[in-house]
Structure 1
């Protein structure tokens, strides 16, 4: 006779993590009377107490917190590098526009190409440094 019992459901690692995340979120909303927007922030001690309740070691929580801090620092550094490149490019464009106007008004001879080429090489090296750094990071992450 064939076994007709229903097999218990099975979950992938990602599904299990999502279920636990959702259950934890609902528990926090009830316990701390939080709206789903999460306007109240938990302290580090609240987080550690919650981890203890869930059977997660403090070391594991500390490691995740350290990893998050590193990730935020990397993102901040990358954002700063991109802002620096944007400022460099805008400065180049503004100054070269001004020098081109001065060159046109100053009479015969054309000299604006020399600062444009010199500074343009510096800007190209700036772009190259950012792109090569991003490619290197992409290979290690």
Structure 2
């Protein structure tokens, strides 16, 4: 358990932190209730995609933000499909409180969260499950 950063396709441990999932759940926009069951603290993986807006705009101009949104959306879409193929649950989310979450995951002041996804084992629903594998 800990905070990792992906750089050049490789995960690098920033710090070991077994409390990080609980910190993420505390900063999730929807609290844990019997109805919504966000369960962020029990998810084995939460992925965040971030950018440095100043660098993004300097390099790509005003279209950079939209391009970053599209790129992150497609990356999360692929993550969700890959998780489903392995029998896991993955859900794109953007409901984290930005500043507090940046502190939990160790983002710099110049970084902004674009999108995130929570990955885990689906809880039993008792009903039919949509199989997204092709």
TM-score range relative to shorter protein: under 0.3
Q: Which one has a larger percent helix, Structure 1 or Structure 2?
A: 1
> What's the TM-score once normalised by structure 2's chain length?
0.28
Q: Say which structure is richer in strand.
A: 2
Larger radius of gyration: 1
Between the two structures, name the one with larger relative contact order (CA 8 Å, sep ≥ 6). 2
